[in-house]
Amino acid sequence: MDMGTDMEGLVREAERLIREQVWVLSLDDRTVAAQATADLLATVGTPESQQSLPAVDRLEHLREALAAVAIALAHVHGRLAWFLGASATALTPVLHWRAMPTRAS
């Protein structure tokens, strides 16, 4: 699986839990989620804006997105913590990606 597939599965599971009322979002959960959404949009921007950026800048934005998720995670518990923690785990490969291609020796 890749990062995108992992995130899609996570979102589907969260939507199912909410739809079945297993996970009922509290006002605090909604506030933290809204702030995380705003932070992610400010960090990453739109898909169109990402397409015009060099790879090094896109990678920087992904790493900032991971930081925004981690900050949101520090403010919650319960199912929202599960969701944000799993999101952070899905995004961790960006910490291992190189900003610049490896030079040939």
Pull the structure tokens for residue 13: 């599971």
pLDDT of residue 102: 59
**Radius of gyration, CA atoms only, the chain:** 15
Burial of residue 85, with CB atoms counted within 10 A of its CB: 0-12 exposed, 13-18 middle, 19 or more buried: middle
* pLDDT at res. 1: 58
CA angle 87, 42, 8 (to 5 degrees): 30
Instruction: For residues 52 and 50, give the distance between their C-alpha atoms in angstroms, rounded to a whole number.
Output: 5
- Measured over the CA atoms of residue 100, residue 48, residue 31 and residue 33, the dihedral's sign is negative
Residues 6-25 have pLDDT tens digits of 889 999 999 999 999 999 99
Tens digit of each residue's pLDDT (9 = 90 or more) over 31-78: 998 998 898 888 888 888 888 888 888 888 888 888 888 898 898 889
Domain boundaries, given as residue ranges, for the chain: 3-95
